[in-house]
Amino acid sequence: MSDTNDQIEETIDAVEGEADTYMLERKTIAAILYAVDAGDPEALTGLMEPLHAADIADLLEQLNTYDRRRLIELYGHEFDGDILSELEEGVREEVIALLRPDVLADAVRELDSDDVVDLLEDLDEPQQEAILGALEEPDRVAVEQALTYPEYSAGRLMQREVVAAPEHWTVGDAIDFLRSHEDLPDQFYHVVLVDPRMHPVGNVTLGKIMRSRRDVRLQEITEDIFKVIPVDQYEGDVAYAFNQYHLISAPVVDDDGRLVGQITIDDAMAVLDEEHEEDILRMAGVSEESSLSDTIIEAAKGRATWLFVNLLTAILASFVIELFASSIDQMVALAVLMPIVASMGGNAGTQTMTVAVRAIATRDLTAQNALRVVWREVAVGAINGLLFGLIMALVAGLWFGVPMLSAVIGLAMICTQISAALGGIVIPMALDRVKIDPALASGPFVTTVTDVVGFFAFLGLASAVLL
């Protein structure tokens, strides 16, 4: 028996260990907080230096405001700029305000231009000026230029640091250039080939350069897939292109087609991740700016709007119930079974809506396949309606002993499931057609349809058949 218990404990420890993979260990966090409490900068530095910037950012986000301020004041003599890039917006503003100007300047100088732009976008003007003032003149001009592009555009997302080569160069020319220049980006994946007018004409991977002979022309080893990103293209479309065509990096061009920067896969995937996160939050009726670092008032305000909309839709469903108040008074079983009909319809509508919103976001649901997808979802709703209608008919018959009540709830369940499936797919498509974000607005409408149709079907059939 003891051997079995030991095995169980080992299994639990293994599972917990897997769950905590890539997370800071509790003893590390405890040691850091102990060093802060003791006011020991050497111990704190020794504990912080081995950590990745993303881990330090996670630590800062988990701490309360008081401990976060004490840690930064003790550790603030050196601060990696990548930590700022990893922080949530609300915490990032707080941290920037706490850093000494010289420490902030050193941190910002380490960043690529796209990361600096990302920092500046969400800061107040005084903080923006502090960061811009810390940059060297060429970097400051590049960042200010990027900020003139529309928000959420490729111009804001791109980095100005790009390695370009004339299209007539050979592999040897490229290798000599790369080895002789010290001002290259810290990380890059392609050498962009340009014509005499600085128009991008191809990408060459570093791997192909390293394994090709020196006399091979770069034009002969360009990538098969080459996409050029307009500087004003919406960043969501950029992320889609990277995901769709498996791009690693892509050059960005101005209105005249000239090379002005590049976007790399890490930035594109960050946008894709943000879009997915926004969709999840919007579908739940939560502000897309919400985070665990929000204050109580900020969190309440971010959720109140769509709670109010849901309240209005709930009132509408209540009006439907009121129409059949006399029927409910005559048969209490109707009041008992109503929540089941509404709950099943609401869950079915949410399932279909989630699939639809996701398909629209990934552009899998298009005008060409819309009718087929609608019919598929309606068929799924009908099948589930038959299945759960039969189950509820049996339950209601055994529960209340009224055969016709079983038939009524069975039919109502079929109608509700079909309407939920239809509303869950058609409403997001209609909202998308009129340029309203389906992730943001679909929920209340789908809920209203499922509740109203469910109550009408169940109470209406009950009034006609049973009373």
pTM value surpassing 0.75: no
Which stretch of DSSP H or E encloses residue 193? strand 190-194
Q: Do domains 164-283 and 296-465 have the same CATH topology?
A: no
pLDDT at 293: 57
Q: Per-domain residue ranges for the chain?
A: 14-148, 164-283, 296-465
Residue ranges of E strands in 246-389: 249-253, 259-264
pLDDT of residue 389: 92
pLDDT for position 165: 95
Q: In what order do the strands lie in the sheet with 190-194?
A: 164-166, 190-194, 200-205
Look at residue 131 in the predicted model and tell me its pLDDT: 80
Say what the pLDDT of residue 19 is.
44
DSSP annotation string for 345-380: HHHHHHHHHHHHHHHHHTT-S-TTTHHHHHHHHHHH
Residue linked to tokens 């991740």: 273
Per-residue model confidence (pLDDT) at position 17? 47
* Of 105, 97, 111, 47, residue with least CA distance to 75: 47
Tell me the CATH number for domain 164-283.
3.10.580.10
CATH code, 14-148: 1.25.60.10
- Say which amino acid occupies 458: F
Q: What is the pLDDT along the chain (467 residues), one digit of tens a residue?
A: 445 445 434 444 444 444 456 677 888 889 999 999 999 988 998 998 888 888 998 899 888 889 999 998 888 767 888 888 888 877 888 888 888 877 887 888 778 778 888 888 777 777 788 788 878 888 888 888 888 898 889 999 998 889 999 999 999 999 999 999 888 887 889 999 999 999 999 999 999 999 999 999 999 999 999 999 999 999 989 998 998 899 999 999 999 999 999 999 988 988 887 776 666 666 655 555 555 556 677 667 767 776 787 788 778 888 888 888 888 878 888 888 888 988 899 889 988 998 898 888 778 888 889 999 999 999 999 999 999 999 999 999 899 888 899 999 999 999 999 999 999 999 999 998 888 888 777 888 888 888 888 888 899 888 888 76
pLDDT computed for residue 21 by the predictor: 63
411 touches 457 (CB < 8 A): yes
The CATH number corresponding to 296-465 among 3.40.50.2000, 1.10.357.20, 1.10.3720.10, 1.25.40.10 equals 1.10.357.20
